[in-house]
Amino acid sequence: MTEPAKFCFARVTPVGRSAIATLVVNGAQAISAIEKYFQPLGGRTFSDYPINRIVFGKWRHADGTHEELVAARVSEEQFEVHCHGGLTAIEALATALTREGGQHLSWQEMDLQACGDKPPYWKTVEQMLPACTTTLATQYVMQHANGEVENVIAQAEALQEAGEVEQAVALLTPYLNTSRCGKHLIEPWTVVIAGRPNAGKSCLMNQLVGYQRAIVHQQAGTTRDLLRALTVLDGWPIEFVDTAGIRAGEDAIEVAGIQLATSQLEAADLVLWVHDLTTPIETDFEDLLRDHDVLIVGNKSDLVTSAQSEFPLQVSAETGDQIEELQATILERLVPGRGNPDFKVLFCEAMDRRIQLLVEQLTAS
Binding site for Mg ion (CB under 5 A): 201-202, 222-223
Binding window for ligand GTP (CB under 6 A); candidates: 198-206, 230-238, 326-334, 345-353: 198-206
Q: How does strand 38-40 pair with strand 189-195?
A: unpaired
Q: Does 223 bind ligand GTP (CB under 6 A)?
A: yes
Beta bridge partners of 189: 238
Question: Does the protein bind ligand GTP through residue 302 (CB under 6 A)?
Answer: yes
Q: With left for phi above 0 and alpha for psi between -120 and 50, is residue 337 left, alpha or beta?
A: left
Among 221, 262, 295, 304, binds ligand GTP (CB under 6 A): 221
The answer to whether 314 contacts ligand GTP (rule: CB under 6 A) is: no
Residue 313 interacts with ligand GTP (CB under 6 A)? no
Stretch that binds ligand GTP, among 124-132, 178-186, 197-205, 336-344 (CB under 6 A): 197-205
Contact between 202 and ligand GTP (CB under 6 A)?
A: yes
Asked if 264 touches ligand GTP (CB under 6 A), the answer is no
Residue choice 41, 303, 350, 357 for contact with ligand GTP (CB under 6 A): 303
Nearer to ligand GTP, 179 or 198 (CB): 198
The CA distance from 25 to 325, in Å, is 53
Residue 303 contact, options ligand GTP, Mg ion, none, Cβ 5-8 Å cut-off depending on partner type: ligand GTP
322 binds ligand GTP (CB under 6 A): no
Q: Does 220 bind ligand GTP (CB under 6 A)?
A: yes
CA dist list (Å): 69 to 72, 93, 99, 104 = 10, 11, 20, 20
Closest to Mg ion by CB, 10 or 274: 274
Q: Which of 318, 323, 329, 333 binds ligand GTP (CB under 6 A)?
A: 318
Strands 102-105 vs 7-11: parallel, antiparallel or unpaired:
parallel
Backbone angles phi, psi at 278, to 5 degrees: -85, -5
| Spatial distance between the Cα atoms of 261 and 241, rounded to a whole number of angstroms | 9
* 66-75 and 54-60 beta bridge pairing: antiparallel
Calculate the dihedral angle through the C-alpha atoms of 166, 146, 238, 277, rounding to the nearest 10 degrees: 30
Residue 2's binding partner out of Mg ion, ligand GTP, none, with CB under 5 to 8 Å set by partner kind: none
Residue 264 Cβ vs ligand GTP, minimum distance, rounded to whole Å: 14
Other C-beta atoms lying within 10 Å of the C-beta of residue 82: 16
| Cα radius of gyration rounded to whole Å, the chain | 29
For the bound state, the minimum distance from the C-beta of residue 307 to Mg ion, rounded and expressed in Å, comes to 25
Supply the minimum distance, in Å, between the C-beta of residue 214 and Mg ion.
Answer: 6
State the amino acid at position 121 in one-letter form: Y
Q: Is 307 in the site for ligand GTP (CB under 6 A)?
A: no
Least Å distance, CB 196 to ligand GTP, is: 7
Q: Determine if 216 is a binding residue for ligand GTP (CB under 6 A).
A: yes
Do 242 and 227 touch, CB atoms closer than 8 A? yes
The rounded distance, in Å, linking the Cα atoms of 131 and 124 is: 12
Q: How far is the CB of 320 from Mg ion (least distance, A)?
A: 18
Residue 184 site contact among ligand GTP, Mg ion, none (CB < 5 to 8 Å, cut-off depends on kind): none
Q: Does 300 bind ligand GTP (CB under 6 A)?
A: yes
Closest contact distance (angstroms) between CB of 223 and Mg ion is: 3
Q: Which is nearer to Mg ion, 219 or 305 (CB)?
A: 219
Q: Are strands 7-11 and 20-26 parallel, antiparallel or unpaired?
A: antiparallel
Report how far residue 206's alpha carbon sits from residue 190's, in angstroms, rounded to the nearest whole number.
16
Where are any strands of DSSP class E within the chain? 7-11, 20-26, 38-40, 54-60, 66-75, 78-84, 102-105, 189-195, 227-233, 236-242, 270-276, 294-299
Q: Select the residue interacting with ligand GTP from 299, 322, 347, 358 (CB under 6 A).
A: 299
| Positions that interact with ligand GTP (CB under 6 A) | 195, 197-203, 216-218, 220-223, 244-245, 299-300, 302-303, 316-318
